[in-house]
Amino acid sequence: MPVASIPEETAIRHRYNAHKRQWVHDTVRVKIEPTPFNRGAMRECFRLKKLSGFSKFESWHSRACNYVAKKYIETVDPSVYFEDARLQMNAKLWAQEYNRHNPPKKVDIMQMYVIEFKDREGAPLYHLEHHIEGEYIKHNSNSGFVDENARRTPHALSHFTFERSGHQLIVVDIQGVDDIYTDPQIHTAEGKEYGDGNLGVRGMALFFSSHVCNDICRRLRLSRFDLAPSECVESPSPMQTNNATCVRGDVFAVGSPMSPPSILDSGCSTEDDDGCDSSPGGYGSSGGAGPFGSRFRRRRTTSGDEMTPEEELAALSAALKRRERPSCVPGNLLRCGCDSGVTADAGTSGLGAVFIQSRSEDDSVSDTGSCGHQHQPLPGMPEVRCNGPILGRIHHEMTRLHDAGRMVALETDNRDKNDIVDDDDKVIGQSCPPGQLEAMIDWPAALFHERLAAQLGVVEAAVNLARLHLGLPADCLQAAPAAALRPSAAEGHRWMEAAAKLGDRSAMLYLARAHDTGDTEGLVRDWDRATHYYHRALASSGQTDREGGYDSLDTPAYLLRARLAELYLRGGYGLDADPASSSEIYGEAAEEAMAEGNGKLAAKYYALAEEAAALVPDDEEAVE
């Protein structure tokens, strides 16, 4: 449609400043075509021209910039438009931080605005981006998809954001023209903000299930994510090997002591595009050329060259070596320098040397990676703090994905690569005949991730492993074959003890009753240990474990106190009789029972308290 025939409109442009975390508003003059030229699953696109506010001439043909206006097909809440723009501008900030580390190819995430046509009925909103010519490519998605013709920069960028943010977020869904990206998605550790596309820890797990660290990741010293040996055997795709980007030698590692220029000093502000070059080269970079202006050589193989069998074998070995992951050597589950942040000596069992460490605030084990660096807060962004074992939660989520057959779908059915995992967890693979899906699941890999998750302090993983080994109902991996699990009561008890150390009350009660009765295989009757766990369970009553909850159906505290008082009264099995403590605990149990409205039981406990007090020796009463 000719520009002259399109009516001019005045709109309000809403811009988000990611540095200041503020919205800025101004008025713009635009012309927008009435019919969309393209549409996707959720939005339709309109051609738009915007007249620059800095232009002295009002020529829509020569002075107006080309834009794309995007509108949701279905009616959505206006806040969705603003949240999308805020997401993309925050992702742009991470792209600028990536460029500061001087990668082989610098990237840019397009500026996105929200424009409001205030003079139209209902004041409709649109997203606004610069129009860029070129082939649009989707490199990865928010649900684990990775383009088979993989380039290294987009995936290194996603990995970089995970490391640089202290494992608190990851920018995925990288797509666009060349290295100018748009419509990214951010997964956060808590799964909050950034719309329904934020899959939280599950999204991070889906990314690392398909990510292979490349030369850029290694030069940036990004920690490799631990995968099971069976997940590391595939060789790189031909496109990954032949079309690799050559890595320059002056790449700044993440956390390097070198001090690249601050992103606050970049050549183009995120506030306005009218006063700076809108081309990708407009961003400040080291050297005179823009990030897309420099030319980089690519490694090429000459078709006429022939390799001897020995050279082919050496090349294959080198390729497989590049695919190695830390912690992938059988018998050495955890190795110094692995991304999981846990170390074990050679010969340590699968449970680890110091089997689980309670990761309190003053814990020496960090969850910020294993590169020997600490993550510094990004300028203009709030300081990030690692609350909880993020890596462990990712490993546990990978276990759940394996258990649900999601990894089978990724490997065997390309049509499911872009599917977002449903809350049901079982929707992927329903087309498989009964029993076939379970036979295709990589159970050793699932158990590998669950053990790592437990070793990294995930309570749910430790409890799940304990229940699996003890033959109790488990949250996941219930269908894992015995050949893969190799159930062991002793190992189950060790995992249960680990869960108790991490604050799981159900594990404390299991161990208390097991040592109390002596009926559990592998555990002897030990009332001293039983009282220890009873005390811990009582101390945790009304509190939450490290992951935020307890089972409300657990035994009431006054019943536990009554049993604890009985053990102190009777003594034996390694526990010295203590009538004084028994009397005191019976009294506490009576008060709690009365508070719960159980007067009959309270009267019984008061009577038992008096009986226990009568057994206290006179010399102890005198001391009191």
What is the average pLDDT value for the chain, to the nearest integer?
76
| pLDDT value of position 406 | 84
Mean pLDDT calculated for residue range 94-121 = 95
| pLDDT value of position 48 | 95
pLDDT band at 341 (very low <50, low <70, confident <90, very high): very low
Q: What is the pTM of this model?
A: 0.73
CA distance 34 to 558: 72
| pLDDT value of position 54 | 66
Contact 279, 180 (CB under 8 A): no
Least-confidence region, from 171-180, 193-202, 345-354, 502-511: 345-354
CA distance 228 to 412: 18
Burial environment of residue 549 by CB neighbours within 10 A (0 to 12, 13 to 18, 19 or more): exposed
* Beta carbons within 10 angstroms of residue 251's beta carbon: 18
Domains of the chain as residue ranges with CATH: 3-78+102-130 (3.30.200.20)
Alpha helical stretches, state H, 41-188: 78-100, 152-164
Can you tell me which residue has the tokens 């090429």? 300
Can you tell me which residue has the tokens 């040397």? 353
Backbone angles phi, psi at 161, to 5 degrees: -65, -35
| pLDDT value of position 149 | 52
Instruction: Give the strand pairing for 64-72 and 125-130.
Output: antiparallel
Residue (of 192, 111, 209) closest to 158 by Cα position: 209
Residue (of 161, 139, 143) closest to 152 by Cα position: 139
Examine the pLDDT at 153 and tell me if it is beyond 70. yes
Mean pLDDT calculated for residue range 170-196 = 92
CA distances (Å), origin 411, targets 209, 231, 238, 407, 613: 11, 11, 17, 6, 68
Residues 6+ apart with CB under 8 A from 520: 514
Structure tokens at 121: 């009925």
Residues 6+ apart with CB under 8 A from 455: 334, 340, 342, 351, 352, 355, 356, 392
Residue (of 442, 437, 444, 449) closest to 399 by Cα position: 449
Helices 200-210 & 390-403 angle (0-180, nearest 10): 70
CA distance 273 to 282: 10
Can you tell me which residue has the tokens 């990611």? 18
pLDDT digit string, tens, across residues 562-603 = 999 999 999 999 999 999 999 999 999 999 999 999 999 999
| pLDDT value of position 439 | 86
Contact 199, 187 (CB under 8 A): yes
| pLDDT value of position 311 | 54
| pLDDT value of position 427 | 41
What is the Cα gyration radius of the chain? Answer: 30
Residues 6+ apart with CB under 8 A from 258: 252
CA distances (Å), origin 216, targets 138, 158, 375: 19, 12, 18
Backbone angles phi, psi at 128, to 5 degrees: -130, 125
CA distance 25 to 378: 25
First to last CA, the chain: 97
| pLDDT value of position 252 | 55
> CA angle, 506 as apex, 505 and 509 as ends, to 5°?
85
Examine the pLDDT at 323 and tell me if it is beyond 60. no
pLDDT digit string, tens, across residues 15-37 = 999 999 999 999 999 999 999 99
CA distance 342 to 223: 13
Of the two residues 450 and 229, the one the predictor is more confident about is: 450
Examine the pLDDT at 328 and tell me if it is beyond 90. no
Burial environment of residue 581 by CB neighbours within 10 A (0 to 12, 13 to 18, 19 or more): middle
CA distances (Å), origin 523, targets 236, 473, 500, 505, 607: 49, 20, 16, 19, 33
Give counts: helices (H), strands (E), the chain. Answer: 19, 13
pLDDT digit string, tens, across residues 534-573 = 999 999 876 655 555 555 456 889 999 999 999 999 999 9
